[in-house]
Structure 1
């Protein structure tokens, strides 16, 4: 069911990529928290008033700004790129290069291989967002300890972003399991998540394009509901269920499909 040897090899092969994206995300988060200034942001809000950018800026509270910047752009696109690259490399790229044939020539079962790769991808996201949460809390204590806000809301934002990436990674992993060629895996495993990101962003920039966000998985990560004590647990649950189901389908597909070995 799980191979420690394969997990260690996968961890070693992908550690540099994971480390780079985790550091970049943490730096972005820390810097945005450190430079937050209510007065400056209030002035910016007045400047973009009655323009499409006003829809993106939204609330000028501490968590409001974070939700409309980091948790809508940098914090989404950076792990999204990591997920796309990693999911493809774990299965489809290895089949494409022929290294999967070598791996499956060992006594290790195909089901064990694909489960181990799925476990690595999910655990790498857990580690990434755990570090991001720690950096966020430490940065708030170091730079914004005079701001009155609930630190739990910041942690819930990180949980919601993790669940979004968990569901998104399941899409990329599914197509990595379906296709034997990297170009096909990336066409769908990258194309669909990137389309979701752009659709949701378009809906925020222009109210006339709001309909696009309703066909985006990213809409389930409702930052406004989190910072305004709204209802978000149903969306969180849906993201978790989508991730579990698509990972299960991907594993099943890879176990049963013909491979060019």
Structure 2
């Protein structure tokens, strides 16, 4: 790993991280503050009247507890999508942009190896991702304790966020792989972004109707199940293990392909 490059990339991309922290503050802060135990029953009735609309965003069973509320309104869609958008943007800035403009050769024209360079770029991506998810976790716990003292089940909530981190690491490794494989942006970024959005679309469609529920088997997003994680379902933890192993595999392939690429000016 290149420490100077790590510091430089973190500094140059700090504004992007701050921007995404602001977006998370807006959504997570407001939605958490909107929780009302007495409103839960009303939301459930509304969900029953418009089941397909709520199901599209993973809100088929809104529940009545604070944790159920957060599961459905934040961890069913919003807090998965926001870090994913960050991943796409950073894969462009950390790898695809350098390759597309031919400036990756300048980075490699140092005493650092290709492995060290690409490892550093991936660590920058993961550090930002970790900051986003840790911030969201801390913010929601703070707002919950401030407004709904004693209602947050901290241990279960932390497990949900650990699962979210594993899912985002999987998505980041997948997108990073494409960024390392191709020269043209329409492939290096387009394939990762397109495949990710395809996963989101398939998951949304699978929740609309029982007739097409089988579509959930065609998206890895299904492997992250907050409602099963808080039940300590062993299968949900095994699914997270599959995501983590896949992420490591994608990263190894990305590194090996990057080491063998022609990256001349």
Shared fold, TM over 0.5: yes
Distance 2:17 2:186 in 1: 22
Deviation at 1:238, TM superposition (A): 1.2
| Match of residue 119 from structure 2 | 115
Deviation at 1:229, TM superposition (A): 3.4
Question: How do 1:1-261 and structure 2 match up within 5 A?
Answer: 2-49=1-48, 51-53=51-53, 55=55, 56-60=59-63, 61-147=65-151, 149-231=152-234, 232-261=236-265
- The range that moved more, 168-177 or 209-218, is 209-218
Structure 2 segments unaligned to the other structure (5+ residues) = none
Structure 1 segments unaligned to the other structure (5+ residues) = none
Distance 2:106 2:17 in 1: 25
Distance 1:44 1:176 in 2: 42
Deviation at 1:25, TM superposition (A): 1.4
Count matched residues.
Answer: 259
Distance 2:263 2:239 in 1: 37
Runs of 4+ aligned residues of structure 1 deviating over 4 Å after TM superposition are none
Work out whether residues 57 and 65 of structure 1, in 8 Å CA contact, stay in contact via their aligned partners in 2: no
Deviation at 1:154, TM superposition (A): 1.0
Deviation at 1:200, TM superposition (A): 1.2
Distance 1:219 1:48 in 2: 21
The CA RMSD measured in Å over matched residues stands at: 1.6
Deviation at 1:39, TM superposition (A): 2.1
Work out whether residues 104 and 263 of structure 2, in 8 Å CA contact, stay in contact via their aligned partners in 1: no
Distance 2:226 2:212 in 1: 19
